[in-house]
Structure 1
């Protein structure tokens, strides 16, 4: 009896996991402390405990809350956020996970068109909203809804697996109900579930903002500014490509618009959060702006920080004082999203429809998830 694709996939993934586990057991300081913990689990622990960094000491972890202590600590030291090593690692995990999901979707015999992708759009937003709940929990301290270690489920990149599990449960449940005759198709019920999750999550944040004594505020002007900039950037990109490079959208259609909008949101949220917060919130005479430089937020990803540093070193002060230093990130996101959309030729959907749809999902999630989180984080002041 030959090896089936599912069996081959499980054997390959299982062998890789066992090899990594064996390395952690046989060479704990090198493999676990110096690689797994340093680049992947340590940043999550530091973030979950609101520490500036975490230090691996023997079999335990120490959390530090001052820059001087972190600078003086002996390696391995992990700081919240991503590094180039961790981002490459997560890309590898994403590709492996996509392969497994394709096998699952084949078994369920679904996801052969972009309607499935569109039905999942609310779940991309839900991921960012759920991450903002963890941000609010950090500010709530003892009253946190998800205390440590449960809050690690809501911290990047673990939250991607959390949202994936929720979405997978929703997909399987809606497919089963539809095939049992409860619904006429599963796309609409799946869409409703995603919208309902967002109503609950964002509703919880809004309720906190209305509760006296909580550190959660509500700045509608930030939300409006982010959505307006997102809409303008998306419309401009869509119009320009439709007019001068219509071939870009031949394979994706309306799904391509969603991809561009997702990354426009990520870029716009960075511009508003990093450059406009002080003006939008501070000048309004409302509660103090979230912590950052001059009332603005600070970049959390290496790419964001690198682009901001590049802007500050290249552009003249008069331009920086007028437009800020984060707007090139928005341009980069729009160009990258357009380039990705152009890759999805019509033949890709004809030859490998499930793989194409899953790539659309992955590309959109890595834009809309962080973008939603940054937008809501600034909107609710957390």
Structure 2
């Protein structure tokens, strides 16, 4: 009898211990879950909801996502045996304009504020649309020029957005200021490449893309009281002024081109140039579209 009672008591204690263990484990899981949700709310969702710009956490996250997606896209392009050259890069220009104008139209509430049309969802949306057009181009390339198909399909998408932007224009002064700044800054760089043969020759369009982006940032902040959303540029602009974006962007592009010149694989080298081009044209187009629409 004593043995049976001891067994029953031990079983009861073990039951209580297991219940306490399970309850503690559930509480721990809930605390971790709530902590993760708080981080997601604070660093990812709130900046989107309230338009407070980027922070260190979401900036690093989006950078990692960009690197991973870029690596996967390069593998896919190589598998599809697509030649990445200047023609291919410029064939994708309308898609960059489409992406930038889409973000501006969402900012202005002309297009709906949905996860697929805001950061980071917009990057996947543009990538999927571009890949669909690439697939069409590959299917038709026996009869038609592949890059022309890309250019044409991208131009349709960009054209619709450009019409929406034009309809909602409030002033063209930002366009004139930005164009003037790009011309003034690019002219001496262009003259330099005429006189000296360097790795910059043939790559001026990449510098111009980032000078364009810097010009839209400078125009928006200096003339129209806009503010920089990205973490590091915002800090530098706060310390020195919006003009700092010109030397920084030119330096970074030149440094990237200097490093890229020793890459033997032409597809990899030109893919890097494509990424550089996108990172200049995309944000610059968004900035300019927002400013001329008064968004």
Matched, 1:368 2:281: yes
| Residue of structure 2 equivalent to 1:247 | 198
Equivalent residue runs for 1:330-341 within 5 Å: 330-341=246-257
Structure (1/2) with the larger helix percentage? 2
| Residue of structure 2 equivalent to 1:99 | 71
8 Å Cα contact 1:84/1:302 also seen in 2: yes
8 Å Cα contact 2:102/2:111 also seen in 1: no
Of 127-136 and 83-92, more deviation after overlay is shown by: 83-92
Change (3 A) 1:373 1:231: same
**1:154 Cα shift?**
2.0
CA deviation vs aligned residue, 1:76-119 (integer Å, no higher than 9, x gap): xxxx3211222222222122112211221122110343321221
Normalised to the residue count of structure 1, the TM-score between the two structures is: 0.64
Equivalent residue runs for 1:198-217 within 5 Å: 198-207=158-167, 209=168, 217=169
**1:241 Cα shift?**
5.2
Out of 131, 135, 146, the residue aligned to residue 186 of structure 1 is 146
Structure 2 unmatched ranges of 5 or more: 1-28
Distance 1:338 1:366 in 2: 14
| Residue of structure 2 equivalent to 1:218 | 170
Normalised to the residue count of structure 2, the TM-score between the two structures is: 0.82
Structure 1 unmatched ranges of 5 or more: 1-23, 53-79, 138-143, 210-216, 278-295, 312-324
Distance 2:219 2:42 in 1: 31
8 Å Cα contact 2:103/2:286 also seen in 1: yes
CA deviation vs aligned residue, 1:222-272 (integer Å, no higher than 9, x gap): 11111221232223333335545x3232xxx53x22211111011000111
Distance 1:329 1:100 in 2: 30
Paired residues in the alignment total 267
- Structure of larger gyration radius: 2
Q: Whose relative contact order is higher, 1 or 2, with alpha carbons under 8 Å and at least 6 apart?
A: 2
Equivalent residue runs for 1:55-74 within 5 Å: none
| Residue of structure 2 equivalent to 1:355 | 268
